[in-house]
Amino acid sequence: MTRALCLALALTTAPGPLLAQDGRIPRKWLMAGVGALVTGAMATVYALAFEQDIGGCSKATCVIPVSVVLGGGIGYMIGKEMDDLYAVRYSHAPPLKLRGRELSLTMVPNDVVVHDSTVLVTGTEGVEVVRAGPTLDRLGLRARGLRGIGDVAADNGRNLLLVGSAVGLYRFPLLGDDPGTLAYPGEISALSADGSRLLLGLGLEVQLARIGDSVEAVGTPMAEDARVVDVAWQGNQMAWVLTEERLAAYGLVGDSLVFRGAMPFPVLARRVSIADSVALVSAGSGGLYALDIRNPAAPAEITNWSGARFVYDAAMRNGIAYVAGGPEGLYVLRLTAAGFEAVGLSRGVGFVAAVEAGPDAIYLLDRTGLALRRLDPQPE
Amino acid sequence: MTGLRNPPVLVTGLLAALALALASPGGAAAQEADDAVARAIRLVADANQMALRGDTAAALARLEQATKLAPNLSDAHYRRGMLLAHQAGNEMTDMFKRRAAGAALERAIRIERGNPSYYLELGRLRLKQGLGRLGAQRMFDLALNAARQRGDAAVIAETEAELGDIYHRRFQALDHRRLMTNDASQFDPDEAINNPHYAKDFLTQRTSEIEDSGELDLRRAEAHYRSGATAWPGHDRANAGLLGILLDEQRIEEFHEQARRFMAAAPKNPRAQLFLGLGLWRMGRAAEATRAFDRGLAGLTPGERSRLTNLSAILRRSDAEDYQGLTAAQRAEFDRIYWAAGDPLRLTPENEHLLEHLARAAYADLRFSAPELHLRGWDTDRGVIYMRYGPPPVVASFAPQTDRRSTDPAAVGKITTVWFYPERNLRFVFYGPPGYNFARFAGEFQAYVEDTRYQMPVKYDNVPVNEAMDSISVQVAAFRGTRTTDSTELVFFAGLPLARMAEGVDLIEGPIEHGLFITDPLERDVKVERRQETVRFHSESQLEQRTFTSALPAGEYRFRVEARQPTTRRAARGANRLEVDDFARSSLMLSDVVMADRVAPRLEVPTGHRDFLIDPNPAMRYTPGGEVHLLWEMYNLTADSLSSVWYDAEIVLRVQSIERRGFAARIVGGVLDAVGTTAEGDDQVSVRYEVRETLGNRDRLPGWVAVDLEDAPLGTYVLELVITDRISGQSALRRRVFTVSDIDQ
């Protein structure tokens, strides 16, 4: 009996080999110890209360060790399940706790865009405008009632909010309650604004436009073989167009888009994020691609990371990639010469459907928790 | 698939055995043995053909003969074991069949240890063997290892799907698990039927949810399904398992991508198309969903298509029995009429209810099918409820009861699952054994389900277009057609709720589509008129009335007036039956009375309703103290020699339901300018006046009048217009019902 109790105690307190590499005590040993202690204690109480021998394993010398072994065994099995779950959850990155602030939303959010000091959250009820910063001040709900909202863009200087939808491009004041107007009819599958220039994804085409008192198409639209899902400007002269099948570079010559080069993907691409000379392409089950885009004529794959089951979105800040993994949470990766190196996985941020790097922090959407979260960036 | 449905495996086995036979050393004994093997191989081939034809008994006899002739012919043992295993269910009575099947499969394994199909089949057999189920997983692991060594993608996928199913069944036993708190010990299905508050109160007050319950099993199931789908991208079960998990976890983007991949790998598999349609429809991509469902239905065999599109489950029992008695052609016509009548919005190209029905069927197939029990999802109890009422907003499950003194012995050892639809307070309780994707109605729920089915055969509350659906008031007025036609001219005065549809919309203006749809009783289009215009959303002066006209022969029809804002996806509709009568050319007749807020003639001598400015009141609802303007046409008044007509008009207002009695009415305008004509009464007032007028060459005579209801109280009124021809002595009557209400339309 004494030996069994000692063993149980030893299991719970044993250092060194019983610790996992990340410093976590394997729960199978912990729970085995707890189980052994609890059942051992109960058996001891029983043995002290009933001293007579009624046959079978009713003596203290039998009851206590058997109980300890049984309790330890059950605890071990429970703990092993916990360890296995832990291993499944964190198979591609260790746990990571992120600090930040949360803003509850009144709608199911779809996407987040950060422009200067403004965070735009699109969702089922419109566009929630939030001031970027530690306090996440709510500035108002725009485009109320508009359904099928896709991409959005903003221009603080012009007090302009552009909202793409399945019906057309709508124009709203960024601040103020004035209603919006239809600026460009037709399906808008993606959009990106850069000053007075606007890049529009029109389903299977991409169109350059100019923003003035109205939105006017400039030049002829460029046809793509697959649906345009995202667009992004790089500097003044380069636009990147992501279709479901490829990332294409278009140079700006006068008022025309000129195709420069493209990088195809074997899976459906979803979002693109440009950070200096690197493009991050979120490719769903295909993982996350990092592309070297210094030569637009020949964008080259740097690395592909497929740790997440499905990459919904990604953003990069100071060499750190933040990957929206949906129900898995937020993966944090460091881009090195050897590829992506997992920094950690934060599971406490809900169903991360979109992520965006702001000038001061990382912003992400929790779709099931209906929240916008602002995270303090990770050190480089 | 393996076994008899897998000719390559059979051919390989036969060739191997034949090669072995041919390679054997000479000698009479050896020659005899070779002959025996060759005969056994032929017997196996025969058995295979017989089994394919469905003659299992003869096939088994051949296989038994083959095993006696060539005891080391593993394929013969394997096929015999497989046939016996397929024959055996998981009932106690099949114990001996299972045992014989197990022995045959084990023998096959002993002869050829590296064949993954043998382990796979033995694993499947173990799943039917009660405690033997625990050994199934080991067999599948062995099958997987062997299949990987051989690089057999089909068996890898099949085995991964089996392993995925094992883990997923374990997860399902814990999914939506709730812990009973306070003094609750069990959920009582009978109480849930009898007490309408019980289910809600029990779930909210006496249970607490256990989060992440069974997550490890779910993740393992997903990993296995995914591995299966990776090994063989077109594998049905692996894809179905994976898609089911993705959809249940609301990972709709992943679902869509996986469904596309499945469809690309198995373009001829109709289930792949149906699952893709389900995903697209849940994503709101109706047009693409329609195309995917169409492809899926086209790919099904006639029998499967008939089961998928069968409406029995969503009809009342008596209707379903009649429906089952229809011929295929009659059923197809019935289906067409049913869905045409049920289309929530004709303005959209898709039929949202049909899409939802197909999506529900696809979901039921995806989530409630149990291949091991030969069950298709839409035939199961849960599948039927899902088809009728859609996804349950609240799902709860409780651990199996172990107390044999339980109120319901059928519940012992079963998981109790509750589906609760709060909006309509519908609740359904199922019992299911752990480890099986199978559940049946608990207790007396079958009777409750039938009652509910009678009252509410099907509901599409979850369809987005219904969530934002408003109503349109339509006043229909029938006039006699022109002299050259026998048809009746119908004018539809519709009040589109543009202000309500624009509530909370941050847009100055936007497009609006509206239209009139008239069908005959068989839902064939008689008239379709669609219009599109841009309206200002928050303008006080925005007119909401729209008028449609149509000329129709006498008969029965149905009409719809619909409006839709594509930008906001808000919609409204008004629909009703329409009985169109002929206007006789001989006797005195009246058109319908148009009830308006204002009527004014545009000409000095108007010839009919077209010569009037009409501000209609489609809802026929007036505010207290308001004026009721009436307009009608009179036909076949008898003219005297000077072409003059002489008639009496009587307007009777009768109270149908009212809060207080006693009111007055006064004619304040109209053709007679009879200002001051006043009548009072307790529950009826009558105003009568006489008219002499020159008919001229007009084929009808319009009449109009405005009535000030003065202090008429809130309520519902019947207005009767009686015209009596003083010359011919004939009378004609028209009636309208209207309300006086202080509620804005």
Quick: pLDDT tens for B378-408: 899 999 999 999 999 999 999 887 765 556 6
* Residues B557, B594 share a domain: no
Label residue B466 by pLDDT band (50, 70, 90): confident
| CB-based contact A368 B506, cutoff 8 Å | no
In this predicted model, what pLDDT tens digit does every residue of A259-286 receive, in sequence order?
A: 999 999 999 999 999 998 999 999 999 9
DSSP string, B227-258: HHHHHSTT-HHHHHHHHHHHHHTT-HHHHHHH
Q: How far is A173 from chain B (nearest CA, A)?
A: 10
| CB-based contact B568 A268, cutoff 8 Å | no
3-state secondary structure B14-79: HHHHHHHHHHCCCCHHHHHHHHHHHHHHHHHHHHHHHHHHCCHHHHHHHHHHHHHHCCCCHHHHHH
Query: pTM value?
Result: 0.87
| Pair of tokens at residue B100 | 């014989």
Q: What is the mean pLDDT of residues B482-501?
A: 87
Q: Which of A142, A168, A309 sits opposite B506 (nearest CB)?
A: A142
In this predicted model, what pLDDT tens digit does every residue of B334-366 receive, in sequence order?
A: 999 999 999 999 999 999 999 999 999 999 999
Dump strand ranges (E) for B449-503: 469-471, 473-480, 488-495
Among B144, B158, B88, smallest CA distance to B116 is for: B144
* Residues B107, B42 share a domain: yes
Among B369, B389, B388, smallest CA distance to B379 is for: B369
Tell me the CB-side half-sphere exposure of residue B40, using CA atoms within 13 A: 30
| Pair of tokens at residue B576 | 């009703």
- Whole-angstrom CA distances from B7 to A353, B10, B27, B275 are 46, 5, 33, 28
| CB-based contact A285 B258, cutoff 8 Å | yes
Label residue A217 by pLDDT band (50, 70, 90): very high
Owner of token pair 């036909």: B635
Does B201 fall in a domain? no
Q: Which of A81, A181, A267 sits opposite B508 (nearest CB)?
A: A181
* Mode of pairing for the β-strands spanning B570-580 and B469-471: parallel
Does B280 fall in a domain? no
Cα separation, B488 vs A23, in Å, equals 87
| CB-based contact B509 A148, cutoff 8 Å | no
Map residue A374 onto helix, strand or coil.
strand
Does B677 fall in a domain? yes
Chain A residues with at least one Cβ partner in B under 8 Å: 81, 84-85, 88-89, 126, 142-148, 165, 167-168, 170, 172, 177, 179-182, 267-268, 270, 284-285, 309-310, 312, 326-327, 351, 368
- With beta carbons less than 8 A apart as the criterion, state whether B516 and B492 touch: yes
Q: Above 90 in pLDDT, residue A225?
A: yes
Which residues in chain A are closer than 8 Å to B253, comparing Cβ atoms? 270, 284, 310, 312, 326
Among B102, B128, B151, the domain boundary falls at B151
Question: What pLDDT is recorded for position B3?
Answer: 39
* Residues B730, B612 share a domain: yes
We report the CATH number of the domain holding residue B80 as 1.25.40.10
* Residues facing B245 on adjacent strands: none
Q: What is the chain A residue with the closest CA to B505?
A: A145
Radius of gyration in angstroms for the set of CA atoms belonging to chain A, rounded to a whole number: 28
* Residues B561, B519 share a domain: yes
Does B274 fall in a domain? no
* Residues B632, B560 share a domain: no
Does B134 fall in a domain? yes
| CB-based contact A81 B253, cutoff 8 Å | no
How many other CB atoms are found less than 10 A from the CB of residue B172? 25
Q: Above 80 in pLDDT, residue A71?
A: yes
Does B410 fall in a domain? no
* Residues B673, B635 share a domain: yes
Question: What pLDDT is recorded for position B314?
Answer: 95
Cα separation, A50 vs A59, in Å, equals 9
* Residues B577, B591 share a domain: no
CB pairs under 8 A between A and B: 82
* Residues B613, B571 share a domain: no
| CB-based contact A145 B505, cutoff 8 Å | yes
Backbone angles phi, psi at B488, to 5 degrees: -100, 135
Cα separation, B77 vs B101, in Å, equals 9
Element (H, E) at A259: strand A256-264
Q: Which residues have a Cβ under 8 Å from the Cβ of B205 and sit 6 or more positions away?
A: B182
Does B392 fall in a domain? no
Question: What pLDDT is recorded for position B96?
Answer: 87
Question: What pLDDT is recorded for position B244?
Answer: 95
Cα separation, A181 vs A172, in Å, equals 7
Question: What pLDDT is recorded for position B18?
Answer: 43
Q: What is the mean pLDDT of residues A38-48?
A: 87
| CB-based contact B567 A167, cutoff 8 Å | yes
Q: What is the mean pLDDT of residues B589-596?
A: 96
Does B653 fall in a domain? yes
What range defines the domain where residue B700 resides? Answer: 584-745
Cα separation, B390 vs B392, in Å, equals 6
* Residues B684, B550 share a domain: no
Question: What pLDDT is recorded for position B27?
Answer: 59
Among B582, B604, B628, the domain boundary falls at B582
* Residues B731, B645 share a domain: yes
Q: Above 70 in pLDDT, residue B634?
A: yes
Domains parsed from chain A with CATH numbers = 2-89 (no CATH), 100-375 (2.130.10.10)
Question: What pLDDT is recorded for position B674?
Answer: 39
Q: What is the mean pLDDT of residues A56-85?
A: 89
Question: Per the structure, how many domains does chain B have?
Answer: 3
Question: What pLDDT is recorded for position B402?
Answer: 73
* Residues B537, B658 share a domain: no
Among B128, B151, B174, the domain boundary falls at B151
Q: How far is B225 from chain A (nearest CA, A)?
A: 13
Q: Which of A148, A168, A179 sits opposite B508 (nearest CB)?
A: A179
Range of lowest pLDDT (B26-40, B337-351, B699-713)? B26-40
* Residues B15, B83 share a domain: yes
Which residue, among A106, A152, A182, would best test binding to B if mutated, counting the most B CBs under 10 Å from its CB? A182
We report the CATH number of the domain holding residue B592 as 2.60.40.10
Which residue, among A285, A328, A368, A370, would best test binding to B if mutated, counting the most B CBs under 10 Å from its CB? A285
| CB-based contact A167 B257, cutoff 8 Å | no
| Pair of tokens at residue A82 | 């916990």
Element (H, E) at B449: helix B445-455
Give the ipTM: 0.88
Which residue, among A108, A110, A167, A352, would best test binding to B if mutated, counting the most B CBs under 10 Å from its CB? A167
How many other CB atoms are found less than 10 A from the CB of residue B351? 19
How many other CB atoms are found less than 10 A from the CB of residue A33? 25
Q: Which of A177, A267, A327 sits opposite B251 (nearest CB)?
A: A327
* Mode of pairing for the β-strands spanning B555-565 and B570-580: antiparallel
